[in-house]
Chain A
Amino acid sequence: MQTPNEIIHQPIRLKIMAALNTLAAGQWLEFVSLKSIVDTTDGNLGAHLNTLEGAQYVLIKKDFAGKKPRTRVCLSAKGREAFAGYIAALHAILALETLEPDVSGSHATNTPPDNNR
């Protein structure tokens, strides 16, 4: 059985990756917006972003919008690829389950459908 990416397979990091994956390649999302979408605290989001940045899955840019400091995040090509692989692994787990014979319910397949219901 395929094992999904351990870095992504964590609830907050999964949300971060899913949110960033909805953006077009090269499109940046502000930290505050990402925080609203992921629904977590500044500290928690920052810590998980550092993990993802360490894996080179996200790019983080810090600059100023006028006089206001601004942090923006973008999914890297490597991150996008890893996320696609992660989703494929999840689907593979589900597909494997449907392919396995259902021993307990096998007799039910011989039962004619009840069309009168």
Chain B
Amino acid sequence: MYYAAPIARLLEELERLPGVGPKSAQRIAYHILRSEAEGTARLAEALLEVKRVIHFCPRCFDFTEGDLCATCADPERDAATVCVVEEPRDVVAIERTGGYRGLYHVLGGVISPVDGVGPEQLRVRELLDHIAEGTVTEVVVATNTTVEGETTALYLARMLKPLGLKVTRIASGLPVGGDLEYADEVTLGRALEARREL
């Protein structure tokens, strides 16, 4: 072994993180070893705290520290419109455009048979429950413009349209096969504005 056991253990944990290969893991580990104990304590505390206090909002399934997330709790938001996204990070991307005033629903993924993900593995039931309350009139499907995102949008349209809702899809100005993450704010803002009915 090249490393002392505690260092090896740290490297092993770091390498499990997304986008961190052996080289970056080594760089991070050595940075931590060189830095002051105080800074490392803050990092460790921050890691533990997110895990302790952050949970899913029971209404939209975005991350939150309160009972409801800030968006769901905000009486100024338009409760008649729900925007369906794949992941919590997509909420951030859309909020950044500043142009959307409705609520969200985080599916927790997209339909992908290769990965064994069907509608039952996503939060579709919870979306239907929310809609059953009767305040929602439009559902904006803002899944990514990938093959899986499009297919999921078609599936949702098939489920929701018989309920008498307006179901719209963000416009195709977005790069094909693209993640919302990579779209800049202006493009994404426009795509939301120019949504079309499914």
A binds B: no
Chain A residues within 8 Å of B, Cβ to Cβ = none
Using a CB–CB distance below 8 Å, which chain B residues touch chain A? none
